[in-house]
């Protein structure tokens, strides 16, 4: 009897040991699988695309903006709206540190918000669509090409508007002044976000202040006179030069001066001066001839 109990007890212990070894193997396999799974998840997480930074994000934005502008010109509503969503996603996942200022990032964000609102309107307005797409295109171009942005091409047009303001001021034509200021404002609204992105904040603020004053000066209870309006135009020309980075000694757009009218006394004075100079030259010539006479 004791022998049988011993054999049974030995068999139970052996079965327990075998079951422990099998469980350990299963546990090891399970933990190994878990590790492999965790490693796979880590690798998958590491393979995800990182956030766009610097030039990379700016280049992708520019490509998307160019495509959107083409879709708007073609009248492709669906593709234009899809591309606006893509632009928004690129902006959110990008960092533009070192490419523009905080004001520039805010300006770019505002352009994107306005673009999406314009494209989402129930009633399609081709003019508004094109204007919004143009602002977007100029803004991202300014981000990618800060040294030679496309908005610099507006310099000649804005100078022409300033010339029209100057002519209206000289002619005492307030309606012509208002029309010229309105055209200038419209052009500036198109390029302003791009200007903010690649220009010094103080230059932008100076031009903003000047344009706001010029737009409302003729609506005051006591409209300024001709000389004051011409002075305002002169300030505007300087502000534009600074904004566009032009040289200070570049010829400004200004009205040609009227020829001076001297009258009869002026003519007599001129004749007298010419006669005196001729007589002095004759005396000098005669003196030199006498000095050269042989002794």
Last residue of a domain, one of 126, 146, 166: 146
Output the furthest CA–CA distance in the chain (Å, rounded): 174
30 in a structural domain:
no
Same domain, 196 and 124: no
Residues 6+ apart with CB under 8 A from 31: none
Q: What is the percent of the chain with per-residue pLDDT over 90, rounded to a whole number?
A: 58
Whether residue 236 contacts residue 164, with contact meaning beta carbons closer than 8 Å, is answered with no
pLDDT in tens, 246-258: 865 444 433 333 3
- The predicted pLDDT at position 101 comes to 92
Q: Averaged over 210-215, what is the pLDDT?
A: 96
**Which bin fits 216, alpha (ψ -120 to 50), beta or left (φ > 0)?**
alpha
292 in a structural domain:
no
Same domain, 177 and 138: no
140 in a structural domain:
yes
- Residue 147 is classified by DSSP as S
Provide the mean pLDDT of the chain.
Answer: 78
Same domain, 132 and 107: yes
45 in a structural domain:
no
- The predicted pLDDT at position 19 comes to 55
Residue 119 has pLDDT above 60, yes or no: yes
Could you tell me where the beta strands, DSSP code E, fall in the chain? 52-53, 94-95
Same domain, 175 and 222: yes
214 in a structural domain:
yes
Least confident of 42-46, 83-87, 134-138, 264-268: 42-46
Residue 238 has pLDDT above 80, yes or no: yes
pLDDT in tens, 123-168: 889 999 999 999 999 999 999 999 999 999 999 999 999 999 999 9
Give this prediction's pTM: 0.67
What angle, rounded to 10 degrees, do the helices at 126-144 and 77-92 form? 30
Position with higher pLDDT, 255 vs 54: 54
Neighbour tally for 72: CB within 10 Å: 26
Residue of 269, 252, 251 lying closest to 260 (CA atoms) = 269
Residue 283 has pLDDT above 90, yes or no: no
Residues 6+ apart with CB under 8 A from 58: 94, 96, 99, 140, 143, 144
- The predicted pLDDT at position 41 comes to 44
- Which range of residues forms the domain containing residue 192? 153-244
* Pairwise CA distance, residues 216 & 199, whole Å: 25
Last residue of a domain, one of 224, 244, 264: 244
Whether residue 104 contacts residue 62, with contact meaning beta carbons closer than 8 Å, is answered with no
Last residue of a domain, one of 114, 146, 178: 146
Same domain, 129 and 176: no
- The predicted pLDDT at position 40 comes to 44
Residue 242 has pLDDT above 90, yes or no: yes
Total domains present in the chain: 2
- Residue 97 is classified by DSSP as B
């Amino acid at each position: 009897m004791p022998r049988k109990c011993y054999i049974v007890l030995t068999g139970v212990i052996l079965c327990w040991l075998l079951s422990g070894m099998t469980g350990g193997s299963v546990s090891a396999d399970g933990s190994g699988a878990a590790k492999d799974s965790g490693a796979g998840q880590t690798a998958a997480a590491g393979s995800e695309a990182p956030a766009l930074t610097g030039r990379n994000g700016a280049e992708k934005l520019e490509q998307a903006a160019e495509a959107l502008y083409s879709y708007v010109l073609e009248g492709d509503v669906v593709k234009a709206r899809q591309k606006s969503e893509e632009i928004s996603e690129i902006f959110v996942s990008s960092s533009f540190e070192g490419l523009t200022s905080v004001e520039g990032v805010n300006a770019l964000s505002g352009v994107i918000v306005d673009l999406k609102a314009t494209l989402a309107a129930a009633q399609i307005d081709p003019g508004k669509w094109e204007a919004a797409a143009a602002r977007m295109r100029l803004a991202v171009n300014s981000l990618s090409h800060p040294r030679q942005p496309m908005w610099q091409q507006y310099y000649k047009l804005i100078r022409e508007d300033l010339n029209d303001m100057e002519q209206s001021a000289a002619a005492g034509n307030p309606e012509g002044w208002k029309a010229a200021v309105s055209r200038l404002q419209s052009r500036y609204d198109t390029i302003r976000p791009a200007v903010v992105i690649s220009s010094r904040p103080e230059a932008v603020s100076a031009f903003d202040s000047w344009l706001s004053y010029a737009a409302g000066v003729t609506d005051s209870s006591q409209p300024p006179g001709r000389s004051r309006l011409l002075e305002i135009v002169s300030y505007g020309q300087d502000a534009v030069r600074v904004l566009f980075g032009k040289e200070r000694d570049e010829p400004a757009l200004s009205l040609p001066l009227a020829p001076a009218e001297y009258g009869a006394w002026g003519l007599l004075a001129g004749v007298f001066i010419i006669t005196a100079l001729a007589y002095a030259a004759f005396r000098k010539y005669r003196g030199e001839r006498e000095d050269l006479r042989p002794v």
